[in-house]
Amino acid sequence: MSISSVKIPIHFRIFNFIVYHGYSEQALKGYKGGIIPSIGILDKFYCPIHKRVEYLYGTDVDHKITPPHIDNCIVTETKYGNHVICNDHIPDMSTAYEYDELFTKEFGGDMMWHEMAKKQGYHVWRIYGKYADNPFVKVIKPSDDYILSLLQQLYRVEA
């Protein structure tokens, strides 16, 4: 058997996964329990529809929100808040970051998270981990967008 005969799940051909640990006190929001590594995806992905690199956009909100009914977005629930993740098949990072800033302001998101992402050149969308007592991030508002439907499969879906 050669490596070329091994079927690679489509998620691993589209999304860039990252495992990370070492959270700041601010990122833990006063949490005093155990912490574990997180698994996330980067905002940069390969779109199999357009055959190019594209960018997701959205915001990290540190409080619970009523999920907006926007077709091209999913909303996930974390221990302390929500993530709004959207796909408009944007091929350049600067446009995606402009949309991030608009969403961050509209939903009262974490502007420091947005600024840090701009500085480091990527956002990380957590799909699992950080808080040992509640590591699950779940989709509370799914989307029919093809790329987002693949992303949703990586979360706990309860819609």
Q: What is the DSSP annotation of 61-101?
A: ESS--PPP--TTEEEEE-SS-EEEEEEEEE--HHHHHHHHH
Task: Domain count for the chain, please give it.
Answer: 1
pLDDT in tens, 141-155: 999 999 999 999 988
Amino acid 90: pLDDT: 97
Look at residue 26 and tell me if it is in a domain: no
- Residue 28 located in a structural domain: no
Q: Does 119 map to a domain?
A: yes
For residue 27, being part of any structural domain is answered with: no
Domain containing 72 equals 3-21+33-157
What are φ and ψ of residue 29, in 5° steps?
50, 40
Closest CA to 80 of 65, 102, 58, 59: 65
Question: How high is the pLDDT of residue 158?
Answer: 57
Residue 90 within any structural domain of the chain: yes
Nearest Cα neighbor of 137 from 117, 154, 124 is 154
User: Over the stretch 76-91, which tens digit does the pLDDT of each residue have?
Assistant: 999 889 999 999 999 9
80: in domain: yes
In a domain, 139, yes or no: yes
Tokens of 146: 């093809």
Instruction: Give the per-residue pLDDT at 157.
Output: 57
